[in-house]
Amino acid sequence: MTATTGLADADRLVEEGTALHAQNRLADAAERYRAALARDPEHARALCFLGLAIAQQGGLDEGLGLLQRAVARAPDFAEAHNHLGSVLQELGRHQEALAHHERAVALAPTNPDARLNLAAMQEVLGRHAEAIDALQALLRDLPNHAIAHFNLAIALDGAGRRDEALAHMRQALALQPALAPRVPPPLDPRGAPAGVTTQAAPPPPDAAAQRRMNEFISSFLTNQNDPRMTMYPGLTARAVHDPQRFPAVHALEAAFEDIRREVHELAASVFQPEAEGMAGTEGWDVLLLYERGRKNAENCARCPIITRIIESQATVRTLAGLMYVSKTNPGTHIKAHLGPTNMRLRCHLGIQVPEGDCGLKVGGQPLKWQEGRCIVFDDHLEHESWNFTSEPRIVLIIDLWHPDLTPIEIQFLEGLHRYAGYQATSLNRYWARNAQARAKARAAYD
């Protein structure tokens, strides 16, 4: 076996290990990492993730040694610094932990787990103002991050800012109901101490909304495998909706010139082939911004104006939604298919629309894009699109909550989707759900 073959085998084994790790099969994952190290004893990712797996099984000292070796092998490996800091924190070596968390954030400023861990360490060391600033900055980037709201509530309460703390605790519980057992009694919004100012409780759902929610919950109990794919009962099924009733449409159309300039400045290399598994999608390229609840920070940084609108409007930034720039090249035909859920509507903003045979059909109704204007349609109905011109067609695609849903239903669905997608352990979940971060980590020592 050549050295190159051995390295390739080691990479493959680490990938197998991370897949098992994501399923919490720690012993099986550790076996794969050890096999990778048998081929390459200084494989930084294998050292890192083996150290993490061992630490998670209680072997803090052994895990510490492996993570230290990973950092020595790849000093710019952000995940190794992050996990090493967490193990040091568990061992009570707080100043060392802080240094590694600071290094992780410096290397990967958009990594939410590294930012959370740094703020937690600052709080432990009594640097309350820094921890609050760090968590507030994280929430500006990820306003629906339940753990950030939870930790900020604790930090604000420690600083004597009880009203603000209660507001963030309410938001944390709305986004992630499973956090309720961890709420300290003074910050439990359901039983705040007397004299504490609290925000008014949300109004109860109306009768129609209550019936829909009850019916949905009943169906969910027998279909828990993929809650984002479940149909929500009682919503109007209409192929095309009036775009002017949606505030997000007004924001998109008002910013059209800036959005078009932002899209046209994108390099062709940042697009990737559509990967939803449908047949006949050759020639369809996408730039993903939000994918089923996950923000692609690198692509969002390329499109700050679009991202600002996505994050300031009632868009579906949960498991049920997608936000992306869609480009179909000449001769592309996206054949008739059905979207996975009726909870959302799909908004298309025309960016580049060539003359000729280029269009969209939803529920049998033909539609035409216009540059600078939005189309809003129900993509859980059968739809197809085509571009039989000689130029690319480009649209921005944003998912919006179905207008029949009340605010309390949306809050309920957002909480449910985040619960379904929640990764309980911040030590190891960032690399499991972010392929780009794994690629960057690999590049750190290649």
Q: What rounded mean pLDDT belongs to the chain?
A: 82
Decide: helix, strand or coil at residue 65.
helix
The CATH superfamily label for domain 240-406 reads: B-lactam Antibiotic, Isopenicillin N Synthase; Chain (2.60.120.330)
* Distance (Å, whole) CA 360 – CA 343: 21
Among candidate residues 87, 145, 23, 80, the one with its CA nearest the CA of residue 438: 80
Using CA atoms, how far residue 107 sits from 120, 123, 135, 322, in Å, is 18, 21, 18, 28
Q: How many residues does the chain have?
A: 446
Among candidate residues 122, 77, 217, the one with its CA nearest the CA of residue 51: 77
The CATH superfamily label for domain 3-196+425-443 reads: Tetratricopeptide repeat domain (1.25.40.10)
* Distance (Å, whole) CA 38 – CA 41: 6
Among candidate residues 205, 232, 239, 201, the one with its CA nearest the CA of residue 216: 232
State the Cα torsion 282-285-288-291 to the nearest 10°.
-20
Q: pLDDT per residue over 355-401, tens digit each?
A: 999 999 998 889 999 999 999 999 989 999 999 999 999 999 999 99
**Fold match, 3-196+425-443 / 240-406:** no
**Contact predicate 209/409, CB 8 Å:** yes
User: At residue 201, what are phi and psi to the nearest 5 degrees?
Assistant: -65, 150
- Please report, for the chain, the start and end positions of each structural domain, with discontinuous segments joined by +: 3-196+425-443, 240-406
Instruction: Tell me 265's DSSP state.
Output: T
pTM, two decimals, is 0.51
Element (H, E) at 180: none
Q: How confident is the model at residue 126 (pLDDT cuts 50, 70, 90)?
A: confident
Among candidate residues 64, 142, 87, the one with its CA nearest the CA of residue 426: 87
The CA-to-CA distance between both ends of the chain, in Å, stands at 20
When mean pLDDT is compared across 173-182, 188-197, 307-316, the lowest value belongs to: 188-197
**Contact predicate 154/165, CB 8 Å:** yes
Q: What is the pLDDT of residue 191?
A: 54
Decide: helix, strand or coil at residue 324.
strand
Q: How confident is the model at residue 423 (pLDDT cuts 50, 70, 90)?
A: very low
Using CA atoms, how far residue 155 sits from 151, 158, 199, in Å, is 6, 5, 19
In the numeric block, the tokens 């911004």 are attached to 289
In the numeric block, the tokens 């910013």 are attached to 255
Q: What is the pLDDT of residue 104?
A: 93
Q: pLDDT per residue over 214-235, tens digit each?
A: 888 776 555 555 544 578 888 8
* Distance (Å, whole) CA 344 – CA 401: 5
Strand partners, 328: 284, 393
